[in-house]
Structure 1
Amino acid sequence: MPSKQPVAPAPPASTYSDVDFKHLLEKDEVFKSQWDPSSNAKYLKTADASRVATAKSALEKNGFGVHLVKDRVQAFNKIYELIPEGASVATAHSTTLEEVGFINYLSDGKHPWKNIKDAIFAEKDQAKQQELRRTLGGVPDAFLTSVIAVTEDGHLLTGDQVGNRVGILIHGSKQAIVVVGSNKIVKDDSEAMTRFKSHVLPAVDAYTRKVFGFPKITVGNVATVFISYPAQRIQVIIIDETLGF
């Protein structure tokens, strides 16, 4: 059985500041016109301690493991602690994971895990690469991502374009680690969808324009995760910072 790594290195700085929420909103005129600060500015604020405690208690009742940390450095340390040495690791795109330094750390190769993306991108035949995404990429030991929202009654709202994030989070990975700023805590499932449509989607579209040159993204899947099954399979790290979309 692989052992856990008890001591984390210092997290590297993020090199993705040009595609975080703040910079996309400043630079993308379409985003500026779509994002209404009067209704969405609240999603850029950290949740107070009572809301965090309510969400934590509800998540735990629903079988999720929950870890409260004060900042992105503690979040990086907790991620490092949770992933066993030698584990295969996959990630979905996550601005939050970029901001805590985890994406840069995983990319530099100097870590104790097996980065599944290394094996996938080493295959240059596109058909074979796609098959690796479906097989090797669909069943990692540890899958790391963020989510659209965490509700006070202990649910996670997630979504994606083709099904990889939703499928691996719900069932594909042996372990899933969800990393979120407390600004993603909302009252209930209804508000989670409101946050998704009014706040997250315009930001993701701006990211798509910046990175891929497409006008917007097509979201093919949105799912609510009500419980972690088996219990503790999904670990949620809640950071007392405003992070991600």
Structure 2
Amino acid sequence: MTTSLPAVPFADPAPAPRLERAAAALTAHGFAVEILDDAAAARTRVEELIPKGATVFTAASETLRLSGIDEDINAGERYEAIKPRVLAMDRVTGADDIRRLLAAPDVVVGSVAALTETGSLVIASGSGSQLPAYAGGAACAIWVVGAQKLVPDLDTALRRVEDHCLPLESARTQEAYGWPSAINRLLVLNAEPRPGRCTVLLLREAIGF
């Protein structure tokens, strides 16, 4: 007899007590955490957190796109935005420079596929371009995380990546680029050993995948 795992509503925002448990766990693991009402509050807070003139890399993220954070950083003049610079470079002759720019910015901003109540961040990637900066290459990392991404544990986080995030991201990349996405690389951040390096802006609302 096969026992199926209970269904988890991966698109529903978690209630306040669960957000607070996750925030406490993240704090205990060395992450700075702020619980904010919505994406508008996160947009304001991101601007406050990033020094003017910093080199900033925005990872591909529906959360950043929908919140306006991606446009604030990459279309404005407040920062040295890496993404527009990289997009203008030749992918062959500039490959080494692109790799270095993405790996070690002053600040990397993005989101995650899942956040566990035990205080782990789970990031899935097709190319892996954002992972070096997330893992330690960037001087500072900021993640904006919708309340629907909160799950009980790592097993459920991986199910969320496979069952929920991948189909949505594949539909996006198919429309944008003509091919589906893939979970080629997974990064799990269980703790941050450098105090002050990582900030999680945990929203009370759902946004992104």
Same-fold call, TM cutoff 0.5? yes
Q: Which amino acid aligns with 2:175?
A: K
SS of residue in 1 equivalent to 2:187:
strand
Q: Paired residue for 1:146?
A: 111
The number of residues matched between the two structures is: 204
Equivalent in 187, 194, 204 of residue 230 of structure 1: 194
Q: Does residue 85 of structure 2 align to residue 119 of structure 1?
A: yes
Equivalent in 147, 161, 178 of residue 213 of structure 1: 178
- Any conservation in 1 of the 2:74–2:83 contact (CA below 8 Å)? no
Alignment partners' CA distance in 2, 1:242 and 1:157: 17
For structure 1, the 5+ residue unaligned runs are: 1-37
Equivalent in 103, 110, 114 of residue 70 of structure 2: 103
Alignment of 1:1-245 (within 5 A): 39=7, 42-110=9-77, 112-123=78-89, 125-214=90-179, 216-245=180-209
Deviation (angstroms), 1:130:
2.0
CA RMSD after TM alignment? 1.4
For structure 2, the 5+ residue unaligned runs are: 1-5
Alignment partners' CA distance in 2, 1:126 and 1:165: 16
Alignment partners' CA distance in 1, 2:74 and 2:53: 16
SS of residue in 1 equivalent to 2:173:
helix
Alignment partners' CA distance in 2, 1:129 and 1:97: 26
Moved over 4 A (4+): none
Deviation per CA, 1:119-140, whole angstroms, max 9, x where unpaired? 22333x3323322221122110
More helix by share: 1
Tell me the percent identity. 31
Alignment partners' CA distance in 2, 1:187 and 1:121: 38
Deviation (angstroms), 1:240:
1.1
Deviation (angstroms), 1:104:
1.7
TM-score normalized by the length of structure 2: 0.93
Q: Which amino acid aligns with 2:117?
A: E
Deviation (angstroms), 1:70:
0.3
